[in-house]
Copies of this chain bind each other. A is one copy, B any other.
Amino acid sequence: MDVSDFFFKLLIVLLSAKLFAEVFAYLKLPAVLGEVIAGIIIGPSVLGLITPDATFHLLAEIGILLLLFEVGLETDVGQIVNVGGQSILVAVTGVVAPALIGFWISNHIFHMPFVVSLFIGGTLVATSIGITVRVLVDLKMHQTKTAKIVLGAAVLDDIIGVVILAVLYDFAVKGEVNVINAAKVLGFIMVFLLLAPVITKLFVPLISKLSSNSRTKGMVPTIIISLILGLAVISHKVGAPEILGSFAAGIALARRFFLPLGATIDHYSHGLAEKIEENMKPIIDLFVPVFFVIVGVSINLSVIDFSSPVFWQTAGLLTFGAVIAKMISGVWVKGGFMTKLSTGIAMVPRGEVGLIFAEVGKRSKIFDDMIYAVIVFVVALTTLFAPLVLRFVIRKED
């Protein structure tokens, strides 16, 4: 790509994201919805100004890493552990219900082949951590108990989603399921998530020393971004999604993350937490919207044949199933109906994970063009559903 052309496209991505985010925020809707819609508009669905090429894809991936880092930074692990039981129940229900409903609708109602139906069920499994978290932040409810449960559940079902994708892919390609292998991957991921923040935490005194003794500019942002990238790479190596690595980096640097010895980041290194926040904030705020715009750009609605009744039947029923199945998962949350409801709704967005499933399905010829289009449409609707609906449920919850 020509340099000037890239600059122009990046300009369009940044400005359209900001414009729509501001308008949506003004309308008291989540800004993230504006960013995804900006992506749909500038992408191949409408204007075709931006295509999801390699460089934008990589910049978007940096954006989602940074978002999960920020979430980790603001996460109190103690609180997550407190609601851990509820998170596990929500996560497991939010995996099993959509998988069964997705499989049942595809196989029993639309008589699709067994493997295709399995894959469609798999597509509906993983909640999009990115969308869910941004919606909660945009609505200023990310410090509520509901948010802790949803965050825990979304992390868990992202892990389960990745393992299921690996298992289903093996099954589709080799015709066999390697349970031991899947269990191994799951074990690695769990060990990584438990150990990574603790080990990273041990490096905090070193980071603090480097940042105060540096003779060059930009030591803090460079070292923090390096830490995020490093943990993302390790996370990928153990078979987990990269974003869990940056989440772990955030948790390790969080002010409220206590080591067994009881020392916080402030104890080790006075002022480091402020320095990190000050330096990372502009970088995070600049990159995060790029991710959501590119999610919008990746949802190519122009592949859809909107005149086909079969399309509408399949997409309509699957969207309905996808929404209801995740909403069921809210029943495990302690509290009133509105709390259960808002938890369930927050779990609905599928976003990037669903799109990865759809891409894998299409590339391995499990999905034909029609089913691929259906999945893209279902993912788009679930992504837009939560931000829109949650806004009104929460208003009632107050």
Contact = CB atoms under 8 A, between A and B. Distances in A.
A18 B222 contact: yes
A55 B281 CA distance: 24
A71 to B, nearest CB: 14
Contact of A15 (B3, B226, B285): B226
Contacts of A96: none
A204 interface: no
Contact of A215 (B26, B216, B223, B285): B26
Contacts of A1: 54, 58
A218 B67 CA distance: 13
Contacts of A191: none
B22 A222 contact: no
Contacts of A135: none
Interface in A1-42: 1, 3-4, 6-8, 10-11, 14-15, 17-18, 21-22, 25-26, 31
Contact of A31 (B8, B22, B216, B283): B216
A318 interface: no
As for how many copies of this chain the complex holds, the number is 2
A157 interface: no
Contacts of A17: 222
A348 to B, nearest CB: 23
B229 A8 contact: yes
B14 A225 contact: yes
Contacts of A10: 229
B18 A223 contact: yes
Interface residues of A, number: 53
B217 A285 contact: yes
B285 A282 contact: no
A276 to B, nearest CB: 10
A316 interface: no
Contacts of A25: 215-216
Interface in A319-366: none
A229 to B, nearest CB: 4
A214 B7 contact: no
A11 B219 contact: no
A218 B54 contact: no
A158 interface: no
A139 B280 CA distance: 27
Given A31-B216, A216-B21, A217-B285, A4 B222 contact: no
A7 B229 contact: yes
Interface stretch (A159-167, A180-188, A230-238, A300-308): A230-238
A221 interface: yes
Given A11-B233, A233-B7, A242-B4, A218 B58 contact: no
Given A7-B232, A14-B225, A232-B7, A282 B220 contact: yes
Interface string A289-301: 1000000000000
Given A21-B216, A214-B22, A226 B14 contact: yes
B229 A11 contact: yes
A237 B222 CA distance: 33
20 contacts: A1-B58, A3-B61, A3-B236, A7-B61, A7-B232, A8-B229, A11-B229, A11-B230, A11-B233, A14-B226, A17-B222, A18-B216, A18-B219, A18-B226, A25-B215, A31-B216, A218-B288, A222-B286, A278-B278, A279-B282
Interface of A: 1, 3-4, 6-8, 10-11, 14-15, 17-18, 21-22, 25-26, 31, 54-55, 57-58, 61, 65, 214-223, 225-226, 229-230, 232-233, 236-237, 242, 278-286, 288-289
8 nearest A-B residue pairs (beta carbon): A218-B285, A25-B215, A4-B236, A11-B229, A279-B282, A221-B282, A21-B216, A217-B285
